[in-house]
A and B are shown apart, each in its own frame.
Chain A
Amino acid sequence: MSGNDCVIEASGLKKIFLMGEIEVHALRGVDLCINRGEVVSIMGPSGSGKTTLMNILGCLDRPTDGSYILDGSLVSDLDDDELAEIRNKKVGFVFQSFNLLGRQTALTNVELPMRYAGVSNGKRKRAIEALESVGLGDRIRHRPNELSGGQQQRVAIARALVNNPAMILADEPTGNLDSKSGDEVMRILLGLNKEFGTTLVFVTHDPEIAAQTDRVIQLFDGVVTEDRLVEQAST
Chain B
Amino acid sequence: MAVELLRESFEIQGRNFDKAGEVSGEIKVILRDLGIDAANLRRLVVVAFEGEMNVVMYANRGTLTLILTDEDVNLEILDEGPGIPDIELALQEGYSTASDEMREMGFGFGMGLPNMKKNSDELRIESEVGKGTSVFAKIKLNSNV
A and B together in one complex: no
Q: Name B residues whose Cβ lies closer than 8 Å to a Cβ of A.
A: none
